[in-house]
């Protein structure tokens, strides 16, 4: 299928933990599933969103699948530590080949997954059969082209472009957020509603500056340094200058903006 552009390192696992904590309310507000409802989390990764789903829908029945066995191990451990005693049905599987009957679920949840797929529209179409009529799908994605900041420099922008280009080279789409609405619509879902969920951080919100600007976004871009240089997209000096510039957006007088998109749709 495709390669997970961010890799599977320990520092990446830590980045995902910081991201999920800082952004939990922004991303998850409005996602609360009723008691007994059957919820499928598609591509749970290391469990960053799984713990949010469990916390916000304490009486729903959650099935979480991922293609990576080691990510599932992380996720299982994370739930055991953060929400001991909470039950999740874990499954290692390819999202294009899930062993569930048609209409087996009331709700699907898929977050930061479509961006890594060669054919996200096909994924959405193939998942649709798992929903009962009237069931909903919730999709959350970022859009790296939504990042802008002060001070603005072309050098910093070039490092972000490396991440976008690596993701494209791996078959994904780092700009997928802006096209969630047409993706869900063409995949056959109804009542599609997509809204931006915006992070804006300046020095009046130091926790958000640290949690998002530094430890989420800049950390994510920094994580592709070696691959970007190895791929000949940028040289070391330009990379280091660009990242230093990007870090200035977290200093006093700096600002940072990023847009996630959250879409909810229904199977009629």
Q: Which residues bind a second copy (CB under 8 A)?
A: 143, 145-146, 148-150, 152, 175, 178-179, 181-182, 185-186, 192-196, 198, 200, 202-204, 253-255, 257, 259, 261
Q: At its nearest, how many Å lie between a second copy and the CB of residue 186?
A: 8
Question: 34 vs 196, which CB is nearer to a second copy?
Answer: 196
* CB distance 88 to 64 below 8 Å: yes
Q: At its nearest, how many Å lie between a second copy and the CB of residue 175?
A: 6
Q: At its nearest, how many Å lie between a second copy and the CB of residue 198?
A: 5
Q: At its nearest, how many Å lie between a second copy and the CB of residue 171?
A: 18
Q: At its nearest, how many Å lie between a second copy and the CB of residue 217?
A: 15
d(CA 112, CA 44): 9
Question: 51 vs 194, which CB is nearer to a second copy?
Answer: 194
Torsion from C-alpha of 170, 91, 81, 84, nearest 10 degrees: 150
Q: At its nearest, how many Å lie between a second copy and the CB of residue 106?
A: 23
Q: DSSP of 84-139, one letter per residue?
A: TT---EEEE--TTS----TT-EEEEEEES-GGG-S-HHHHHHHHHTTEEEEEEEEE
d(CA 105, CA 162): 38
Question: 56 vs 248, which CB is nearer to a second copy?
Answer: 248
Question: 90 vs 261, which CB is nearer to a second copy?
Answer: 261
Q: What value, to the nearest 5°, has the Cα angle with vertex 62 and ends 59 and 68?
A: 155
Q: Which residues lie closer than 8 Å to 176 by C-beta, 6 or more apart?
A: 114, 115, 120, 141, 142, 143, 183
Q: At its nearest, how many Å lie between a second copy and the CB of residue 152?
A: 6
H or E stretch at 225: helix 225-230
Question: 77 vs 191, which CB is nearer to a second copy?
Answer: 191
Neighbours of 168 (CB within 10 A): 13
Q: What values do phi and psi take at 70, rounded to 5?
A: -70, -35
Half-sphere exposure of 5 (CA within 13 A, CB side): 26
Question: 14 vs 150, which CB is nearer to a second copy?
Answer: 150
Question: 134 vs 182, which CB is nearer to a second copy?
Answer: 182
């Amino acid at each position: 299928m495709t390669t997970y552009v961010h890799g599977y390192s320990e520092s990446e696992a830590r980045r995902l933990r910081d991201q999920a904590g800082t952004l939990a309310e922004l991303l998850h507000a409005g996602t609360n599933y009723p008691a007994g409802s059957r919820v499928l989390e598609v591509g749970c990764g290391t469990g960053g969103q799984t713990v949010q789903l469990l916390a916000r829908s304490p009486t729903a029945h959650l099935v979480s699948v991922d293609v990576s066995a080691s990510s599932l191990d992380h996720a299982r451990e994370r739930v055991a530590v953060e929400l001991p005693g909470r039950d999740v049905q874990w499954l290692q599987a390819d999202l294009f080949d899930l062993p569930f009957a048609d209409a087996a679920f009331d709700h699907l949840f898929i977050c930061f997954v479509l961006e890594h797929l060669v054919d996200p529209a096909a994924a959405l179409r193939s998942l649709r059969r798992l929903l009962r009529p009237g069931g909903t799908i919730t999709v959350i994605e970022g859009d790296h082209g939504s990042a802008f900041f002060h001070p603005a420099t072309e050098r910093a922008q070039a490092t972000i472009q490396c991440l976008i280009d690596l993701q494209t080279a791996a078959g994904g789409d780092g700009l997928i957020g802006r096209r969630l609405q047409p993706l869900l619509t063409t995949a056959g879902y109804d009542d599609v509603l997509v809204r931006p969920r915006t992070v804006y951080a300046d020095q009046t919100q130091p926790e958000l500056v640290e949690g998002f600007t530094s430890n989420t976004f800049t950390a994510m871009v920094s994580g592709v340094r070696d691959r970007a240089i190895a791929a000949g997209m940028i040289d070391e000096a330009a990379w280091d200058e660009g990242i230093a510039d990007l870090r200035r957006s977290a200093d006093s007088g700096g600002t940072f903006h990023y847009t996630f998109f959250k879409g909810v749709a229904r199977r009629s």
